[in-house]
């Protein structure tokens, strides 16, 4: 367990670049350098994480620890990889009230413009990978239109489900491999089924409204719903969180986008944004709010991952499983496109200068392949210069 903890702590302190970069770090550290698992088994973990909702890189890291040292190893991997970024986001929540002055607002606006560029890059990357043909592009466009014009959490769930149905009809060319490497988990199918039942019970409870419960408890349910229903990676959680915590007025759009932008500047999983949001919801930088929100956000993805691992090969031998997954992934691209428009673009871009800064940052990310930290520095510097020039 300690071996797993310190290996993941090093990655939690140094793994910049988001979930796609994280799986590269994991491959280099645990497949190439340490030899904890081979290429075939690592590929299977990536496939399971891609299939499930939740934070993909954290799910893969948790699974590596689980296979290496059992339950204590999985928990150690999650805690070590998440803790550095969570503490940094909690610190930012403490710092935020001190930024309510011109240069502070300029700094926060720079983070919002980072969010525009990063989400646009994420949308482009996902569209290229997940919508390679016209049927899937059509599913993505329909999903985006439906969410933009309705903007409700229910519609987001419906378009994901409808994407799976359309995938079953339109993506029949998708197939699964029958020669998958078996995953040697240290518990049986019954334990996996029990974890899935716990996940489902908690999800049902998260949808039950109780006006007598505290705001923090209701926020915890909102974060659990978001973590349980976010397909396609961290960027797609934006519309779910915006609907869950911004619309009820628990946190402002400005704080929401500033936190998202700041999350790009820290190593580790981007779902650590929940620590910032939870702290802001439960008073002025509450540690309890940060902890509850963070755990609620990650718990469903980890329960699903642990529950599915012993069942994975059986599930993926189903003839049409890959077609359903293809349709769901296409719908997720549409969800991210809708989130790029609202709240990311509408909450950050107010002038021609903002358009120019966001576009330049996008070009740096996509064409120049600049890492995210220099792009953050560029957006923040440009925003602060604008404040200075305006007096």
Structural domain count, the chain:
1
Angle between helices 253-263 and 273-281 (to 10 degrees): 150
- The predicted pLDDT at position 282 comes to 63
Count CA atoms closer than 13 A to 383's CA, side-chain side.
26
**The residue to which tokens 């994480």 are assigned:** 49
In a domain, 371, yes or no: yes
Distant-in-sequence, close-in-space partners of 80: CB < 8 Å, separation ≥ 6:
4, 5, 6, 7, 8, 9, 11, 12
Residue 176 has pLDDT above 60, yes or no: no
What's the pLDDT band for 178 if we cut at 50, 70, 90? very low
pLDDT of 132 > 70? The answer is: yes
**In this structure, is residue 37 part of a structural domain?**
no
pLDDT in tens, 108-126: 888 888 878 887 887 888 7
- Residue pLDDT, tens place only, 4-46: 999 999 999 878 667 766 877 788 889 888 999 987 788 778 7
- What range defines the domain where residue 275 resides? 101-389
CA torsion through residues 234, 235, 236, 239, sign: positive
Q: Which residue has the higher pLDDT, 235 or 309?
A: 309
Rg (CA), the chain: 20
**Within-domain flag for 227:** yes
When mean pLDDT is compared over 63-67, 99-103, 159-163, 307-311, the highest value belongs to: 63-67
**Phi, psi for residue 230 in degrees, rounded to 5:** -90, 105
4 falls within a domain: no
- Would you place residue 179 in the very low, low, confident or very high pLDDT band (cuts 50, 70, 90)? very low
Q: Assess if residue 80 is contained within a domain.
A: no
Q: How far is CA 80 from CA 3, 98, 184, 201, in A?
A: 11, 29, 23, 28
What's the pLDDT tens digit per position in 248-265? 888 888 888 888 888 888
pLDDT averaged over every residue in the chain: 85
pTM of the model: 0.76
* Mean pLDDT within 84-110: 88
On whether residue 64 sits in a domain, the answer given is no
Q: Does 175 reside within a domain? A: yes
pLDDT reading at 87 higher than 90: yes
What is the reported pLDDT for 267? Answer: 84
Residue 25 is assigned to a structural domain of this protein: no
């Amino acid at each position: 367990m300690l071996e797993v903890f310190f290996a993941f702590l090093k990655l939690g302190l140094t793994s910049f670049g988001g979930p796609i970069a994280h799986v590269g770090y994991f491959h280099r550290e645990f497949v190439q350098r340490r030899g904890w698992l081979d290429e075939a088994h690592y590929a299977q973990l990536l496939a399971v994480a891609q299939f499930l909702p939740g934070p993909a890189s954290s799910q893969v890291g948790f699974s590596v620890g689980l296979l290496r040292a059992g339950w204590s190893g999985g928990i150690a991997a999650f805690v070590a990889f998440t803790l550095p970024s969570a503490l940094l986001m909690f610190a930012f929540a403490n710092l935020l009230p001190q930024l309510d002055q011109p240069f502070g607002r300029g700094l926060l606006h720079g983070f919002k413009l980072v969010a525009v560029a990063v989400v646009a890059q994420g949308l482009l990357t996902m569209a290229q990978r997940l919508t390679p043909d016209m049927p899937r592009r059509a599913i993505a466009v329909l999903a985006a239109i439906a969410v933009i014009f309705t903007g409700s959490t229910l519609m987001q769930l419906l378009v994901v489900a409808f994407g799976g149905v359309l995938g079953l009809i339109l993506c029949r060319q998708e197939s699964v491999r029958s020669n998958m490497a078996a995953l040697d988990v240290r518990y049986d199918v019954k334990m996996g089924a029990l974890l899935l039942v716990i996940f489902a019970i908690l999800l049902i409870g998260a949808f039950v409204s109780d006006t007598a419960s505290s705001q923090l408890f209701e926020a915890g349910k909102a974060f659990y719903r978001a973590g349980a229903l976010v397909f396609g990676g961290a960027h797609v959680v934006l519309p779910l969180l915006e609907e869950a915590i911004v619309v009820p007025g628990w946190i402002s759009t400005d704080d929401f986008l500033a936190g998202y932008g700041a999350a790009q500047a820290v190593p580790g999983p981007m779902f650590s944004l929940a620590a910032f949001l939870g702290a802001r919801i439960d008073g002025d930088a509450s540690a309890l709010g940060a902890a509850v929100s963070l755990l609620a956000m990650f718990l469903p993805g980890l329960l699903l991952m642990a529950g599915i691992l012993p069942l994975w090969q059986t599930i993926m031998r189903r003839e049409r499983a890959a077609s359903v997954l293809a349709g769901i992934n296409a719908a997720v691209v549409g969800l991210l496109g809708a989130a790029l428009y609202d709240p990311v673009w509408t909450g950050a871009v107010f002038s021609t200068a903002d358009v120019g800064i966001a576009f330049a940052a996008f070009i740096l990310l996509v064409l120049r392949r600049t890492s995210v930290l220099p792009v953050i520095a560029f957006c923040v510097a440009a925003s602060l210069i604008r404040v200075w020039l305006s007096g």
